[in-house]
Amino acid sequence: MIAANYNPKESEEKWYKYWTDHHLFHSEVDNSREPYCIVIPPPNVTGVLHMGHMLNNTIQDALVRRARLQGKNACWVPGTDHASIATEAKVVAKLQSEGIRKTDLTRDEFLKHAWDWTHTHGGIILKQLKRLGASCDWERTAFTMDDKRSESVLKVFVDLFNKGLIYRGVRMVNWDPQALTALSDEEVVYKEEHSKLYYLRYRIEGEDGYAIVATTRPETIMGDSAMCINPQDPKNQHLRGKKVIVPLVNRVIPVIEDEYVDIEFGTGCLKVTPAHDVNDYMLGEKYNLPAIDIFNDNGTISEAAGLYVGMDRFDVRKQIELDLQAAGLLEKVEPYTNNVGFSERTNVPIEPKLSMQWFLKMEHLAKIALTPVMEDDIHFFPPKFKNTYRHWMENIKDWCISRQLWWGHRIPAWYLPEGGYVVADNESEALQLARKKSGKNDLQLSDLRQDEDCLDTWFSSWLWPISLFDGINHPDNPEISYYYPTNDLVTGPDIIFFWVARMIMAGYEYQGKMPFKNVYFTGIVRDKLGRKMSKSLGNSPDPLDLIDKYGADGVRVGMLLCAPAGGDLLFDESLPEQGRNFTTKMWNAFKLVKSWDVADIEQPEHSRLALNWFNNLLNKVTKTLNVQFDQYRISEALMTVYTTFRDEFSSWLLEMIKPAYGQPIDRQSYEQTVNIFEQLLQLLHPFMPFITEDIWQSLRTRKDGESIMISIMPQPAEYDENLLTRFEAVKNVIVGIRNVRKQDNVPFKNALELKVKFNNRYPATFASVICKMGNISTIENVTEAVKGARSFISDTVEYFIPASSQVDTEEMRAKLEEDLKYTQGFLASVMKKLSNEKFVNGAPAQVVANEHKKQVDAETKIAAIKAQLKEL
């Protein structure tokens, strides 16, 4: 028995279990088959599913399922990221709630808590992806801190160090005062802020006058080492060679000259604070200025400042304004809008800070990764992101790879008792290197001290496509040789630098080739008002609630219907509702087909013609779909098959072949219809895996282990475009007949006569289809207009249906005049194009020919309408 209504929850549970029980997602090396591989962008191990994940993974699943249907050996590798900053912050917060401070614990004690947290909360998001229908090879699930991945990360660090690409030094870094760690430039998000510009008075030593300095950060004056002016600035020539006194601090500092100073900004006088500004640091290096670090790691003022010690930096900003004012050292304060850097993870303003860190030189890596993208060896979809990529690569800075955290891959560097350090894969190798470096063979491991810092999370993620197949530890193993390079990467443009670019670098450095062939950039999921979805705005629905309400297939369709590559998705709940309604349409079509009795009787002519039309249409649709997938126009591909099923299959084909009430369908038509239904299900399966499996399993008798997912889609054959065009004319005639029935309230059971004022555009071959769909008893050719009949024009052919009641000539006249006005307007627009020499001479010949055909058709129709009006 077929259920009256489709039950998504029941279907999803049943078929996901079936797929996993039969290991249908699993892939092994098979050199007789073409591989297709995607690696999942690893979500945070303790994360939960959000709308961005839904979009990204729906697209990945569609690509993987389509590859299986093409007979490829598809492998979608899942996994999670250890997310150093985010996870450590959660563990610290959890410990604080229990009255435990991180500083009270040893590293090993803290890591035990972190692993416990990860085991408790980790992997939830992967379970949630199963609800979506994600067909990942779960047997391959990886974690960036599992043994293989950790070994790979440490090997790469050692290798790059030995190549001279990793170094340690004091540099200006982005410091996160909340996470207490350095950040890379890519982990800083700049936001526009409405702040203040403070004009401070620096007294000129030995004189009564002042030099005025404009700054947005008066709290940093305790770190001032100099004042700088532009030697070309006429208004500050009097300061050349002088010294000034830092307000409140009373430190005497020199006035230096450098063309770096912007003459137009403020007064043209710049306070130089080498320890707390990137550009000031460069000036400090150039002029050998002392760097006074006035901040503690947590953003409070240090002892070195001498003033406001222990106060928070922003509290000092408020207090120092009052103190400067009271001392007569504040000239004025103005409103000012500037860009302030925030930590991407903790959302607190970063602090430029001089710090001893580990860095990776990027020049060589950027060079080997730029050309493949710019020359389209690696394709970006949409290609506009190539320019973004190029700009970053050509302006790249060394990557700060150390983090002052405990959760992560600990830097494999060991410090010797008498200074210096060694870098090694493990403790045993480190001890050997330390003995060799120091010349002391009695040196013990206990004499060495391993670096406390861990590596940036992205330092493990950039190896993901290689390390998933153990290609760092065993570079030529069968799996890396078979699955690498992977085929497609689906990700967001916001991590093009964090991850995409660095994976390309690692791919060429460690495998000598690209990590993936294509990169599909998704857009940002926004609400219908265009706002980015977020918890704080309360505009982000819970994806699992949506699945419960609309079914996984409904949600997938809703997400993809409006998801252009690289374009933002405006999400509204009407979209998954539309998806759910479509599943109902599919189920109703399935019930209709399975309700027919099948008999060994002759196939009607109208069924033969209709099925021939649809098979041609299906070949065209399949070819169109192939092109759309090749160009990563995923949303358009869904719309193509969606409208084909909804409009052409359900609304036209099934109605054309449907037997009369109580009558059987011929076996030939039934089998052809089932074949067509199966092919449509295969085209829909990448987007809607559950309902397509459910219907496919019931259309015919299947064996255990069979699945639509691993059935092979037939290749599209050639199709007759002329036939498809003529059949559109047939459909238009049927619509015209239906309109006449509607006007006269003639029920379908009452047969009608059809008179045709014949010309060669009349689709006479398909008369049986017109008779079936319009319930026409006879079709007769006439040479003149039929008086007193309802009429309509389709494709320049005039059709007449004798009226079942008195025809309202005024009503008919009004309709004809409306049609005439529209057709005349259409003709005018065509003539405007054809009178444009630039269009006629520049457009392809076929395009111009199509416009001439439109002209002839419109003129013919106008003449026919005028003739009918004359008859009235």
What single DSSP character describes residue 530? S
Please list, in sequence order, all residues whose beta carbon lies within 8 angstroms of the beta carbon of residue 646, skipping any fewer than 6 positions away.
Answer: 582, 585
pLDDT at 567 over 90: no
Whether the Cβ atoms of residue 583 and residue 649 lie closer than 8 Å to each other: no
Query: How far is Cα 790 from Cα 807, in angstroms, rounded to an integer?
Result: 7
Query: How far is Cα 849 from Cα 828, in angstroms, rounded to an integer?
Result: 17
What single DSSP character describes residue 178? T
What single DSSP character describes residue 450? E
User: In this predicted structure, what is the pLDDT of residue 788?
Assistant: 77
Which amino acid appears at position 540 of this protein?
A: S
pLDDT at 219 over 80: yes
Whether the Cβ atoms of residue 518 and residue 38 lie closer than 8 Å to each other: no
The string of pLDDT tens digits covering residues 492-535 is: 888 899 899 999 999 999 999 999 999 999 988 888 888 887 76
Whether the Cβ atoms of residue 212 and residue 205 lie closer than 8 Å to each other: no
pLDDT at 562 over 90: no
Backbone angles phi and psi of 517, in degrees to 5: -95, -30
pLDDT at 563 over 80: no
pLDDT at 741 over 80: yes
User: In this predicted structure, what is the pLDDT of residue 872?
Assistant: 63
3-class SS of residue 799 = strand
Q: Beta strands of 325-389 (E only): which ranges?
A: 330-343, 351-360, 379-381
Short-list 597, 587, 589, 606, CA closest to 670: 597
User: In this predicted structure, what is the pLDDT of residue 618?
Assistant: 98
User: In this predicted structure, what is the pLDDT of residue 334?
Assistant: 93
pLDDT at 123 over 90: no
Q: What is the mean pLDDT of the chain?
A: 92
User: In this predicted structure, what is the pLDDT of residue 639?
Assistant: 95
Query: How far is Cα 288 from Cα 256, in angstroms, rounded to an integer?
Result: 11
Burial bucket for residue 634 (CB in 10 Å: 0-12, 13-18, 19+): buried
Give me the DSSP letters along 700-737.
S---TT--GGGSPPPPP----HHHHHHHHHHHHHHHHH
Short-list 386, 389, 385, 383, CA closest to 632: 383
User: In this predicted structure, what is the pLDDT of residue 598?
Assistant: 97
Model confidence band, residue 12 (pLDDT cutoffs 50, 70, 90):
very high
Whether the Cβ atoms of residue 340 and residue 185 lie closer than 8 Å to each other: no
Count Cβ atoms below 10 Å from residue 306 Cβ, excluding itself: 15
Distance of CA 244 to the CA centre of its chain: 54
The string of pLDDT tens digits covering residues 45-59 is: 888 888 889 999 999
Where is pLDDT greater, at 864 or 762? 762
User: In this predicted structure, what is the pLDDT of residue 499?
Assistant: 94
Query: How far is Cα 792 from Cα 679, in angstroms, rounded to an integer?
Result: 37
Please list, in sequence order, all residues whose beta carbon lies within 8 angstroms of the beta carbon of residue 348, skipping any fewer than 6 positions away.
Answer: 176, 177, 178, 299, 342
User: In this predicted structure, what is the pLDDT of residue 809?
Assistant: 66
Backbone angles phi and psi of 592, in degrees to 5: -65, -50
Give me the DSSP letters along 228-288.
EE-TT-GGGGGGTT-EEE-TTT--EEEEEE-TTS-TTSTTSEEEE-TTS-HHHHHHHHHHT
The string of pLDDT tens digits covering residues 255-265 is: 999 999 988 88
Region 470-477: mean pLDDT is 96
Residues listed for the chain: 872
Task: Find the largest Cα–Cα distance for the chain.
Answer: 117
Region 300-327: mean pLDDT is 95
pLDDT at 170 over 80: yes
The tokens describing 339, both together, are: 């860009």
Whether the Cβ atoms of residue 460 and residue 145 lie closer than 8 Å to each other: yes
Region 631-647: mean pLDDT is 95
Whether the Cβ atoms of residue 129 and residue 49 lie closer than 8 Å to each other: yes
**Phi/psi-derived region of residue 217, left when phi > 0, alpha when psi is between -120 and 50, beta in every other case:** beta
Of 140-154, 190-204, 268-282, 525-539, where does mean pLDDT reach its minimum?
525-539
**Phi/psi-derived region of residue 757, left when phi > 0, alpha when psi is between -120 and 50, beta in every other case:** beta
User: In this predicted structure, what is the pLDDT of residue 278?
Assistant: 84
The string of pLDDT tens digits covering residues 358-380 is: 999 999 999 999 999 999 999 99
What single DSSP character describes residue 298? T
Give me the DSSP letters along 474-501.
STT-HHHHHH-SEEEEEE-GGGIIIIII
Whether the Cβ atoms of residue 281 and residue 290 lie closer than 8 Å to each other: no
Model confidence band, residue 865 (pLDDT cutoffs 50, 70, 90):
confident
The fraction of the chain above a pLDDT of 70, given in percent, is: 99
Region 288-315: mean pLDDT is 94
Whether the Cβ atoms of residue 270 and residue 217 lie closer than 8 Å to each other: no
Region 284-302: mean pLDDT is 93
Query: How far is Cα 110 from Cα 653, in angstroms, rounded to an integer?
Result: 66
Query: How far is Cα 85 from Cα 180, in angstroms, rounded to an integer?
Result: 9
User: In this predicted structure, what is the pLDDT of residue 558?
Assistant: 93
- Name the one residue in this structure whose structure tokens are 């259409």: 826
Give me the DSSP letters along 106-170.
-HHHHHHHHHHHHHHHTTHHHHHHHHHT----GGG-EETTSHHHHHHHHHHHHHHHHTT-EEEEE
Whether the Cβ atoms of residue 205 and residue 235 lie closer than 8 Å to each other: no
Short-list 620, 645, 603, CA closest to 772: 603
Radius of gyration for the chain, computed over Cα atoms and rounded to the nearest angstrom = 36
